[in-house]
Structure 1
Amino acid sequence: MAPEADVRPFEAPAPRRGPSPRVLLAVAVGGFAGGEARYLLGLAFPTSRGGFPATTFAVNISGAFVLALLLVLILEVWRPTKYVRPLWCTGFCGAYTTFSTWMVDTDRLVSAGRYGLAAANLFGALAAGLLATMLGVSLGRWRTLR
């Protein structure tokens, strides 16, 4: 007769705790500030109908730069902290930048027959965002070498 296998009754895994209320508050405060900043920039620099969405473009590119720079500083330079990344990276930069508006702006340009501007917006934002990210990372790492 074969030896009995070690059989244990089914145990449900321990429930996973979510983020602390303070971390959620940091994300919410950052999100409010980032969303408000983007909203106010949109009011200050509106895009004309069929025109190039320069404000959304600038917001997304500057957001890519700031996020990259912050992540290098937070992860590689500054002492560990529990709230800076949720506040600034997830909250502020997450609400400040906007993928959805970028796509809606591109769709509006296509619908208006402004195919060149639509392509410039779509591919220009990708290229400029990548360059801004590379610049932010480079600047952050250059700062660590000093």
Structure 2
Amino acid sequence: MTAPGTRTGEPTDPGTGPPPPARRGPGRDQLPVVAVVALGGGAGAAARYAASLLWPVAEHGFPWTTLGVNVTGCAVIGVFMVVITDVRAAHRLVRPFFGTGVLGGFTTFSTYAADFQRLVDGGEARRALAYLAATPLLALAAVWLAVTATRRVLEWRRT
């Protein structure tokens, strides 16, 4: 007969049985991803800051630098995605580093919102609305054009 709480009469003390399987922390597999996103984000933000130093915008001027950074970043993401999906497989950390980190830090849709508010507060409602509409339209057009052009170049090189 077996003792209560056991199947075969073994002791119920958990310290006497085989050790439980090793458990990993819930985010442990994500640490390298978080690290490369942070590194890439720092690099992208530094590049954006450099662009703002190279092409400063007047206090009440149109935010051409932010518009240019966002459109350029979107075009680069279009090329990047074609390269890592159609040309060659990338290491698992390339997309988070470059796509999320570098380009996420480089493009700045929060500054886009702040620029819009700055234009409105400065009495430039028409310019603000033009900027509000132009940024996402140009950004989406940049992605589409970059993807299309990259695929055509790749097809041309294969023939």
Q: Would you call these one fold, judging by a TM-score over 0.5?
A: yes
Which residue, out of 83, 88, 105, partners 1:95? 105
Supply the AA of the counterpart residue of 2:65.
T
Hey, what's the Cα distance between the residues in 1 that align with 2:58 and 2:67?
Answer: 14
Alignment of 1:130 with 2:140, yes or no, is yes
Aligned counterparts, 1:1-146, within 5 A: 16-17=26-27, 19-145=29-155, 146=158
Alpha-carbon spacing, 1:21–1:51, altered in 2? closer, same or farther (3 Å) = same
Give 4+ residue runs of structure 1 displaced > 3 Å after superposition: 14-20
SS in 2 for 1:52: coil
Structure 1 residue identity aligned to 2:68: A
Looking at structure 2, the residues matched to 105 and 126 of structure 1 have their Cα atoms a distance apart, in angstroms, of 14
Amino acid at match of 1:91: G
Residue 22 of structure 1 deviates from its aligned partner by 2.5
Max Rg structure: 2
The amino acid that maps onto 2:98 is W
Quote the Cα distance in structure 2 between the aligned partners of 1:61 and 1:101.
Answer: 13
Cα deviations by residue, 1:79-119 (Å, 9 ceiling, x for unpaired): 24212111110100000001110011011101111122112
Deviation at 1:134, TM superposition (A): 0.7
Letter in structure 2 aligned against 1:111: D
Return the structure number with greater relative CO, CA threshold 8 A, min gap 6.
1
Q: Percent identity?
A: 37
Q: Which runs of 5+ in 1 are unaligned?
A: 1-13
Q: Structure 2: where are the runs of 5+ without partners? A: 1-23
